[in-house]
């Protein structure tokens, strides 16, 4: 962009960049997690499911796992920086993207050492609980903004309930809960970015 155009608002270009960054981050996350599952399906596809973080402590899958989370966090934070919002919903989306990006980075950082001792495991578990609750609450807000995707919010609710049952030891379906909650959140995030930017 030249200085001659710098004073002319170009909302469409900026808005396209926000949606593109959000979509790249979420599709990149899905792609590299799918690679992790393909490389080592036994971690999550068993009766007592493990979670996605297990891919971050195995040599075979640590690189795609790292790329998955780094892409989701990095592109969400970039989208937040690109979003220069005036309307209240857009400012909220900017805060949502910033918070989400930070939580994903925190998840990534706490993954590598969580198997070393109980304190680090509890820290990582705590971050996992926070991001799950955040994604659920944020999805409810985005559903309110979109007034669509009713089935997706039902799926999100089911995933959140399964997450609660898994947390309290009633069930052991951690990967399924991450898939339902995270997948629903990703869809809401992309659609909300399209609408509000």
pLDDT category, 16, cuts 50, 70, 90? Answer: confident
Q: For residue range 131-144, what is the model confidence (pLDDT) as tens digits? A: 999 999 999 999 99
What the block records as the tokens of 104 is: 């994903």
The answer as to whether 119 is a domain residue is yes
E strands of the chain, at which residues? none
- Provide the pLDDT for residue 88: 62
Domains of the chain: total: 1
User: HEC states along the chain?
Assistant: CCHHHHCCCCHHHHHHHHHHHHHHHHHHHHHHHHHHHHHCHHHCCCCCCCCHHHHHHCCCCHHHHHHHHHHHHHHHHHHHHHCCCCCHHHHHHHHHHHHHHHHHHHHHHHHCCCCCCHHHHHHHHHHHHHHHHHHHHHHHHHHHHHCCCHHHHHHHHHHHHHHHHHHCCCCCCHHHHHHHHHHHHHHHHHHHHHHHC
Range of the domain at 94: 11-44+53-196
- Provide the pLDDT for residue 3: 40
- Provide the pLDDT for residue 10: 45
- Provide the pLDDT for residue 7: 38
The answer as to whether 159 is a domain residue is yes
Residue 4 has pLDDT above 70, yes or no: no
| Residue with the two structure tokens 């998840």 | 107
Share of the chain above pLDDT 90, in %: 81
Sign of CA dihedral 50, 53, 57, 63: positive
The answer as to whether 4 is a domain residue is no
The answer as to whether 174 is a domain residue is yes
Q: For residue range 57-104, what is the model confidence (pLDDT) as tens digits? A: 999 999 999 999 999 999 999 999 988 655 667 889 999 999 999 999
The answer as to whether 151 is a domain residue is yes
Residue 178 has pLDDT above 50, yes or no: yes
The answer as to whether 2 is a domain residue is no
Mean per-residue pLDDT, 106-129: 96
The answer as to whether 161 is a domain residue is yes
Higher-scoring residue by pLDDT: 96, 49: 96
- Provide the pLDDT for residue 46: 83
Mean per-residue pLDDT, 99-122: 96
- The C-alpha atoms of residue 122 and residue 140 are separated, in whole angstroms, by 27
The answer as to whether 89 is a domain residue is yes
């Amino acid at each position: 962009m030249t200085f001659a155009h710098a004073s002319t608002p170009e909302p469409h270009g900026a808005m396209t960049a926000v949606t593109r960054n959000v979509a790249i981050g979420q599709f990149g996350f899905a792609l590299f997690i799918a690679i992790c599952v393909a490389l080592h399906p036994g971690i999550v596809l068993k009766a007592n499911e493990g979670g996605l973080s297990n891919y971050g402590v195995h040599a075979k899958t640590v690189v795609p796992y790292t790329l998955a989370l780094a892409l989701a966090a990095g592109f969400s934070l970039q989208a937040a920086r690109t979003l220069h919002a005036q309307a209240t919903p857009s400012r909220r989306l900017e805060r949502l993207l910033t918070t989400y990006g930070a939580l994903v980075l925190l998840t990534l950082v706490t993954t590598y050492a969580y198997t070393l001792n109980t304190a680090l495991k509890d820290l990582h578990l705590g971050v996992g609980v926070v991001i799950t609750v955040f994604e659920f609450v944020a999805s409810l807000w985005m559903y309110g903004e979109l007034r669509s995707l009713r089935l997706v919010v039902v799926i999100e609710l089911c995933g959140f309930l399964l997450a609660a049952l898994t947390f309290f030891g009633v069930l052991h379906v951690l990967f399924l809960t991450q898939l339902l909650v995270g997948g629903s959140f990703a869809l809401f995030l992309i659609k909300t970015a399209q609408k509000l930017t």
